[in-house]
């Protein structure tokens, strides 16, 4: 410590805090060690910060073991939320509630750059941004929830790069309970969920049914009226408020041209909590696409909770030229009639998002072909959920309140 103090106080007198060492002092210190032939001291420092012989970070440090059951998901813990909120506040230098390009670049300087997963999700268009188009705290937390849900190893890696200092980055995450599979009337279905705060929804439907506009409205409250076919999969994430005030995160995925491959992939479907089947209620041939899609992939799709949605409900409703009309089709599946939604009706959109999460939480009420009589075990799980609430969801809300308070104080 004496040599560190000497470097700070004599060579760089402006850095007078004995508990810390500046970047310039650190470089000078190691130059001194090298000139004195004390190479073991340099390597000792590097080892203390988890560097290997190749001067790369140790894989065990970047990717600590986290035991995840195949039917479980991974989410941020309250500790993880606190770290990410603090990180956002630290780099929001102008205190405008958003990370601009320069601030975002500075934040990711210690890392390999913006995560590849973020680039694939078309970040930042995947999240809520402020009026200037900068990454908001709401969107920042949502993007990390999306990352953790899709690939928790990426989250662990970047937490290590970004200086998470709670011994191990696994403390920033939590593993949910494994999904239970129940059986009734000779049909398997998913058990109720009571400990999750992040849910994934596939949005399916015919071209021009309004899927992309639905995703755009979900994130920004507005959408483009110019039709552009979706080629690559598109994904977005946002926090929503449920009945009772609890908040959770909903991920919407439009599959694009990869739809057939994804629907044939059991692992990808297992990660889907609910399917939103959309059709254009003003286009008479739109619903038949869903009928044929479900016929083709019935074995895979019948196990996933489902909500049917009639989009563009502000336009004149047309009778569907389909094998069966939507209301009769959903009734035969023991599902609720299609919700009539318009992107111009904010209330109807919010109700849709709530129902999607409700279906994911209580699959027995939205599983095709399963009569809607709630299983007693599911009722017990639901009661437990209502009593205990969700600590992590509350932490997310509290984090935003902390940020607002600090911003006002500044």
Write out pLDDT tens, residues 78-100.
999 999 999 999 999 999 999 99
**Does any domain span residue 400?**
no
**Does any domain span residue 375?**
no
Same domain, 12 and 131: no
Same domain, 104 and 224: no
* CATH number for the domain harbouring residue 155: 1.10.238.10
The total domain count for the chain is 3
Same domain, 228 and 335: yes
Same domain, 25 and 107: no
Contact assessment for residue 3 and residue 13, using Cβ atoms and an 8 Å cutoff: no
| Across 159-168, 196-205, 274-283, 367-376, least confident range | 367-376
Per-residue confidence (pLDDT) for residue 254, from 0 to 100: 97
Residue/partner pairs of 224-233 with CB below 8 Å, 24 or more apart: 230/254, 230/256, 230/257, 231/256, 231/257, 232/256, 232/257, 232/258, 233/258, 233/262
With 60 as the cut, is the pLDDT of residue 407 above it? no
Contact assessment for residue 181 and residue 193, using Cβ atoms and an 8 Å cutoff: no
**Does any domain span residue 105?**
yes
Same domain, 140 and 235: no
**Does any domain span residue 407?**
no
Same domain, 210 and 297: yes
Same domain, 304 and 167: no
Same domain, 143 and 160: yes
**Does any domain span residue 55?**
no
Per-residue confidence (pLDDT) for residue 264, from 0 to 100: 94
- Tens digit of each residue's pLDDT (9 = 90 or more) over 97-125: 999 999 999 999 999 999 999 999 999 99
With 60 as the cut, is the pLDDT of residue 372 above it? yes
* CATH number for the domain harbouring residue 323: 3.40.50.300
Tell me how crowded residue 70 is: count the other CB atoms within 10 A of its CB.
Answer: 8
**Does any domain span residue 40?**
yes
**Does any domain span residue 68?**
no
**Does any domain span residue 54?**
no
Same domain, 23 and 97: no
Q: What are phi and psi of 58, to 5 degrees?
A: -65, 135
CA distance 405 to 408: 5
With 90 as the cut, is the pLDDT of residue 324 above it? yes
Per-residue confidence (pLDDT) for residue 392, from 0 to 100: 52
Per-residue confidence (pLDDT) for residue 398, from 0 to 100: 52
Domain span holding position 38: 2-49
């Amino acid at each position: 410590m004496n040599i560190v103090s000497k470097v700070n106080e004599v060579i760089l007198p402006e850095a007078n805090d004995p508990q810390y060492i500046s970047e310039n002092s650190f470089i000078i210190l190691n130059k001194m060690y090298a000139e004195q032939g004390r190479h073991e001291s340099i390597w000792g420092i590097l080892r203390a910060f988890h560097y290997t012989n190749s001067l790369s970070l140790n894989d065990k440090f970047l990717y600590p073991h986290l035991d995840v059951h195949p039917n479980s998901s991974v989410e941020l813990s309250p500790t993880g939320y606190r770290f990410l909120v603090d990180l956002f506040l630290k780099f929001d230098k102008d205190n405008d509630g958003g990370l601009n390009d320069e601030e975002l670049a500075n934040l990711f300087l210690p890392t390999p750059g913006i995560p590849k997963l973020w680039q694939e999700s078309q970040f930042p268009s995947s999240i809520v941004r402020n009026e200037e188009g900068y990454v908001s705290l709401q969107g920042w937390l949502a993007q990390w929830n999306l990352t953790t849900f899709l690939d928790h190893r990426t989250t662990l890696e970047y937490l290590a790069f970004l200086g998470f200092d709670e011994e191990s980055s696994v403390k920033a995450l939590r593993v949910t309970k494994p999904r239970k599979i129940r059986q009734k009337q000779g049909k398997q279905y998913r058990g109720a969920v009571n400990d999750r705060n992040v849910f994934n929804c596939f949005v399916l439907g015919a071209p021009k049914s309004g899927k992309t506009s639905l995703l755009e409205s979900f994130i920004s409250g507005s959408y483009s009226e110019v039709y552009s076919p979706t080629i690559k999969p598109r994904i977005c994430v946002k926090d929503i408020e449920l009945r009772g005030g609890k908040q959770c995160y909903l991920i919407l995925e439009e599959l694009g041209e990869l739809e057939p491959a994804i629907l044939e992939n059991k692992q990808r479907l297992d990660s889907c909590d609910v399917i939103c089947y959309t059709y254009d209620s003003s286009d008479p041939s739109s619903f038949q696409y869903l009928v044929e899609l479900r016929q083709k992939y019935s074995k895979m799709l019948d196990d996933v909770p489902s909500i049917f949605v009639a989009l563009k409900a502000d336009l004149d409703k047309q009778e569907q030229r389909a094998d069966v009309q939507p209301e009769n089709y959903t009734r035969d599946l023991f599902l609720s009639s299609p919700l009539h939604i318009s992107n111009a009706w904010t209330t109807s959109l919010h109700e849709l998002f709530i129902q999607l999460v409700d279906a994911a939480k209580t699959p027995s009420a939205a599983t095709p072909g399963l009569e809607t009589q709630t299983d007693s075990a599911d009722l017990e799980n639901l009661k437990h959920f209502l009593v205990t609430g969700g600590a992590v969801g509350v932490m997310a809300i509290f984090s935003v309140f902390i940020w607002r308070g600090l911003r006002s104080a500044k």
